[in-house]
Amino acid sequence: MAVSIVGQFNLQKHFGGGEVFTQFLCYALDELGIQTVLFIDSNAYFWSKLDLPESTKILPVSGKHLSSNFFKDLQWIIGHGPLPKSLLSLNRNLIFTAIAHMPVQGRDPWVYLGHDMVFPVSKWVMQGLRLDVCPIWNDPLYGISNLELRSNKLTKIIKNSSYDWDERKIRDKILKILEKPFRPLLPKNKFVKRFGITIGIVSRITPIKQFPDLFKIISPVIKKYPLINIEIFGSGGYASIRDLKKSLSPIKKQVRFWGHQNNVQLVYKQLDFVLSGLPEKEALGLNLIEAQSLNVPVLAINSPPFTETVVDKKTGYLFIDPRDDKAKDFSLVLELITSTKEKLNPLQYYKHLEKFTHSSLVGRLRYIIRWVNKQKIQ
């Protein structure tokens, strides 16, 4: 009998690209007739706000209290990231798989030991995995752009808090308490696009993006182009925002922070370019894919994984890592985009963008499901 239900484990407490991918995966599996039991952290409240198919059942759990009773009707488990070791030892009749959302380079590849298969989201992630640790699926899953699922009825962009408080830290708990009473008193600025060229960051401000390290080098270059505006849509921890603001100090008059925005489709439509962070800790760069799908060109470093998602001088501009050339190539890109009237049109390169669509993900999943069904027979 073919597999008809799968357990997905996503125990992240904060919303990010892996959680967006989980949403898309639920819909793709639903189209293939497979239901999902989605195991989540009991403190991850954002799941209730996400649009999920009716075939998806959400089950909050505590990782410390997993038991075989959770998996009575399941044959296949997908972890978003490595599955807990306690889970891998529960029932070897289950097929244990994981989606590698993060590059393993610089991390411990042995966290995937005991999995029956690992599915990388990009070739860059695939390169970091090791066959002596786990079987590796040879076709990247990639991410997909489906902004309709992430849109809402908001018709304007309003400034929100830039901070994503980590309540495990005493400092953050105190700062959150201090911020709360003052938040309603702050002016609710409405986004209005400024004259010039608008370069946006649409991302959570997390250490893996390395934005402070990037802007520490490129801020002095951007300062030479006063008509370039940097608009930041996303939130992060106290230290991440502090360090980013410090790196942006040379161009603070050109920068505005807008905090987390629920209607990212509306955000992208206000931008001339979307800028990525540094590459090596990134798995894919979903924001770059989303921007291109809305015909917004992107700016990214000419290294994996961005070389998989951007076609240089077609869907965006790739530039030499500023850490390697002191931002000389980045300066040439800024000179180009501020002097030319020609605009890149990513949607013209539909063959490139096709692999980041819902239908392509469904097609890749068909092969995975065939593999799962063969494992059951064996």
Query: What is the residue extent of each domain of the chain?
Result: 5-144+358-377, 148-354
24-56 CB burial, b ≥16 within 10 A, e <16: bbbbbbbeeebbbbbbbbeebeebeebebeebb
- What is the second-level CATH architecture of the domain 5-144+358-377? 3-Layer(aba) Sandwich (3.40)
Would the CATH topology of 5-144+358-377 be identical to that of 148-354? yes
- What is the second-level CATH architecture of the domain 148-354? 3-Layer(aba) Sandwich (3.40)
Q: Are 264 and 150 in contact, with CB atoms under 8 Å apart? A: yes
Q: What is the pLDDT of residue 329?
A: 98
Report angle CA 261, 265, 268 to the nearest 5 degrees: 90
Q: What is the pLDDT of residue 177?
A: 54
Digit-coded pLDDT (tens) for 10-46: 999 888 888 999 999 999 999 999 999 999 998 888 8
Residues 6+ away with beta carbon under 8 Å from 272: 197, 198, 199, 296, 297, 337
Residues 6+ away with beta carbon under 8 Å from 331: 221, 224
Digit-coded pLDDT (tens) for 114-169: 999 999 999 999 999 999 999 999 999 998 887 776 666 667 899 998 887 555 55
Q: What is the pLDDT of residue 64?
A: 55
What are the CA-CA distances from residue 205 to residues 47, 75, 169, 172, 220 (Å)?
A: 20, 37, 17, 16, 21
Can you list the residues of the chain whose pLDDT is less than 70? 1, 63-70, 91-92, 149-154, 165-188, 376-378
Q: How many CA atoms lie within 13 A of 126 on its CB side?
A: 15
Q: Which helix (H) or strand (E) holds 5?
A: strand 5-10
Q: What is the pLDDT of residue 146?
A: 79
Q: At what angle do helices 286-293 and 17-31 cross, to 10 degrees?
A: 60
198-236 CB burial, b ≥16 within 10 A, e <16: bbbbbbbbbebbbbbbbbbbbbebbeebeebbbbbbbbb
